[in-house]
Structure formats: C-alpha cells, structure tokens
Chains A and B, each alone.
Chain A
C-alpha cells in the first residue's frame, strides 16, 4: 500500500473548522477553568490517556475539541511532544501516598480500615432534576452537589483528623506477612532516569514489566475496559477480586540542582489497583496505576495484567494484543484515518473488481460458445 498526497479545498477546510467552532459555545479562559473545576474525572481521564499531568491544559483540550475525548488526548500528547524533558522525579511508593480512598473487596477487616473517600459507589443514581428547575442549588438551601441525604456538617466531622502520615498499610503487605503472597524481591531501587520507557524505546514482546505497566497507565479507558470485561465475562482464565483500590495524592519529588535535597513541586492525583487471584498454591496479584483518578481503568487494567501472565492466555489477552490495541492515540488515529481520502486505494480495488468481472464474463461467453459447439 502506498500513500499519495491530496490537495485542494483550503477555504472549505478553514470554513469547516470555523463551523465546528460555531456549533458549540464560544471558548474562554473562564470556561476552561469551569471544566477543570467541575469535571475533574473527565480531566483526569484525558490526562491519564494523554500521559501528561496538566489539568489546565487537559481542560483546555476538552474545551477546544468540544469534548471529543480522543481529540483532547491527541491535543495533549501533541503538546507534550513540544516540551523538553527536564527532570526525573523520585519514585512514588505506596507508603508515601496521601490516600483519600482505599477499599478492599477481598477482606472486610483490613489493617487501617476501609475508607470510602470521594465516591458515588453506594449513591442513588438519580438525576438532580431540581437543579434544572432552579430549586436545588446552594442559593435555595440545597446541597451544592450530589444528594442532600449524605451532606455532612462540619460539626459531624471527626474533630481530630488522623495525622498527615497516618498509615493505611497495604493489604498486600499484610498478605505477605501472613504467608499468603510471595515476598517481593529485595532489589536495589533503580535509577529513576534509567527505567525502560515506551515513549523512547520500541516495545518488544514479552515486554519488560516497566513497559507493560507504563502502557497500561497510558491506555485508553474504553479499550482496557472492553478487553478486561471480556476477561470478566469468562473469556479469561482468571477470576480475580479487587485486593485493594486506592485514590491518592502523590508528591512530585524533585532533586534541587544546587543543594541536592529533594523538594515537592506539588501534588498530583493518582489511582492504583491490585486484583488478586487464587490459584492452587498461592495468591497472585495483578496491578495497574494511572495518573488521575480513574477506577474503571485501573481495575480493568489490573485484571489484564493478571491475564497476560497466564501461560496460554486467550488471544485477546495476550500482551501484544492488549498493549497494542489499548493505545488511544494510535487506535483512534488509525480508525479515523479511514475517513480521509482513499481514492487511489479504492480505485485500485475497483479496477481489480472490474477486471475480475470482465474475465468472468469473457469466460462465461467462451464457456457458453464452447457448450454450443459441443451441442
């Protein structure tokens, strides 16, 4: 297959872009700020798939694309490619996370307890029509968001908060201490600048674990969910449980180039999930994490991590299949490229079709005349 250049219609292209803009409300800095403030989970999804933590720019990308997620991710990835890499942060460990939500579906009594944190898990899924009717907002004494049933007044909150470093011990650590999980290798911490990096190295299969987890962190939420759901429905070999799910803030620790000391450049939202599978001899964990808070993605991706380790996984759960087909920019880009001019390719196909038909009709005429001669 070869590509040919096409040209023409510059004015039409410019007018098409202008029309695209006119059919949504005008953009402004205030709109971008509102998207960032009001749609944090959508902003997080774009940042996770764009693999760039920049809430302001993710909100701008969403506004600019009219909410087209793949366009927004592409905008963010394109911006990312214009920026130099200036630092490698210190590795984030679970013990350093400022955890806001930590739950386990495997054990109800876990060290540190179950913290629901910010979630709609157990909420009624009812549309707030009162908001549309102008009756439910704070100006009418209603809750600013969500249901009023669970609204908490400051007096109801614990007066003494847990300390800043109040531990929520990892469920896996407890399982390891109990002999349920294999202990982690006692390897020295790698140089943060020397990890395998899918943005700079080609991925070869079987992929280094760093490539696999980085790819899953950047994966398309819908793609990871589709393949993960196939596993959950029974095409997979694992039947795991969520061992632990965390939403947290993580400090971005940089090394001061003059003093050599580390300092925090700020905090970012991260999510991570472990799923656990029982086998005949021991528990096995699958793992995934991403920038931003995106529970569906990390749960599905952690299940895929477990599936990919199976000796003979279902074809849709092989590492190469999963990592290639959940890459959002490549997959969406390949999909939408089909709507671009393919005139030469299609004409070539038509030529072949006509030639086959012509040969066929000639053959049938010859066959018919041959039959007549025999008769």
Chain B
C-alpha cells in the first residue's frame, strides 16, 4: 500500500483504533524522536466553476506530527486538534516506510479501508435513493 493511500485511509479511521494500533507498534520502533507535534491551519483553495478562478475557501484546523523512528522519518496530519492521533499516524507512517511490521500494518489498513468503504457505500446508497425525476405539467 502506498504511503498516500495508507494515510488517506487512516486519517479517516476511528482515532481510538489508530492509537491502539500505534501503541502495539511502539516497542519495535524505539527509540522514537518526536521532531514536531502541533496544531495549525491549512488553507483550502477551491477552483470555482463560473470563471475558473482559484480562491481560499477557508482554513482547516489540523494536528500534525513528524517523527523519527526505526531509522525512518514519518509524518502525518489529520483534521482537528488531536495531537495523539497525529502522532500515532506519523508513527505508523514511519514504521511503514522503515519496513517494520509490514504485514500487520497492511492488515490493519486493509480492515480500516474496508470499514470506511462499507460506510461510504451505505451513504451512497442512501443518496442514490433520493434521485428524483421531476416532471413539468
């Protein structure tokens, strides 16, 4: 699984599950150095459809973490202000890039991805049920 797919999945996963999984990985990652763990803002640009201009829709509160573990650097950012969630994600990213616990990470990410896809598909079914054919008289 690519880093971007891994993070894109796990940033949407239930934070408690992500933190518990990172906790399991920790012994294999020592020593861990936290290079950065903070909250901050990301500007979100949007492309409009009327004239094709780009503009800032607003700012997004993020928690981010940058770590060095198992000889590799890991980074992650997630919505909100949960620094532990960002740290756990960055540790998983570092482990993934260092080749530590590869099968376990893949299994965890695959399971989370399947759960998210199931929830997304359920929502899409509910949305699809609101499709309307309007008639004029």
Does B61 count as interface, using CB distance less than 8 angstroms? yes
Q: Which B-chain residue is minimally distant from A104 (CB atoms)?
A: B134
Indicate which residue in B7, B55, B64, B131 contacts A264 across the interface (CB closer than 8 Å). Answer: B7
Instruction: Give the residues in chain A near B61, CB-CB below 8 Å.
Output: 52-54, 57, 83
CA distance A184 to B130 in the complex (A): 31
Chain B, range 112-135, C-beta contacts under 8 Å to A: 117, 120-135
Query: What separation, in Å, do the CA atoms of A104 and B41 have in the docked complex?
Result: 34
Assembled-state Cα–Cα distance A251/B81 (Å) = 17
Tell me whether A113 and B77 are in contact (CB under 8 A): no
Interface size class of B (residues with CB under 8 A): 35 or more
B40: chain A residues within 8 A (beta carbon):
83-87
Distance from A119 Cβ to chain B, minimum over Cβ atoms (Å) = 8
Nearest Cβ distance between residue B2 and chain A, in whole angstroms?
A: 7
Number of interface residues of A (CB under 8 A): 90
A185 contacts which chain B residues (CB < 8 A)?
A: 51-52
Query: How many contacting A-B pairs (Cβ < 8 A)?
Result: 249
Which of A88, A192, A258 gathers the greatest number of chain B CB atoms within 10 Å?
A258
Known: A52-B59, A261-B4, A263-B3. A83 touches B41 (CB 8 A): yes
Would you call B52 and A195 a contact (CB within 8 A)? no
When the two chains form their complex, are residues A258 and B42 in contact, meaning their CB atoms are under 8 A apart? no
Closest Cβ neighbor of A100 among chain B residues: B127
**Given the interface contacts A52-B59, A86-B62, does A108 sit within 8 Å of B136 by beta carbon?**
yes
- Which A residues touch B132, using CB under 8 A? 113-116
How far is the CB of A108 from the nearest CB of chain B, in Å?
A: 5
User: Are the C-beta atoms of B41 and A80 separated by less than 8 Å?
Assistant: yes
Q: Which of A119, A152, A212, A250 contacts B129 (CB 8 A)?
A: A152
Q: Are B75 and A257 in contact (CB under 8 A)?
A: yes
User: Are B78 and A162 interface neighbours, CB within 8 A?
Assistant: no
CA of A108 to CA of B39, assembled, Å: 45
**Chain A nearest Cβ from B75, distance in angstroms:** 6
A199–B44 alpha-carbon span in the complex (Å): 13
Q: 6 interchain pairs (CB within 8 A)? A: A52-B61, A85-B43, A93-B46, A156-B129, A157-B125, A274-B49
A-B complex: 5 closest residue pairs judged by Cβ atoms:
A86-B40, A266-B79, A287-B50, A285-B50, A54-B61
Q: Beyond the given A52-B60, A263-B4, could you list 10 further A-B residue pairs with CB under 8 A, ordered by the A residue number?
A: A57-B81, A84-B38, A89-B42, A101-B130, A116-B131, A213-B55, A217-B56, A254-B62, A265-B77, A287-B51
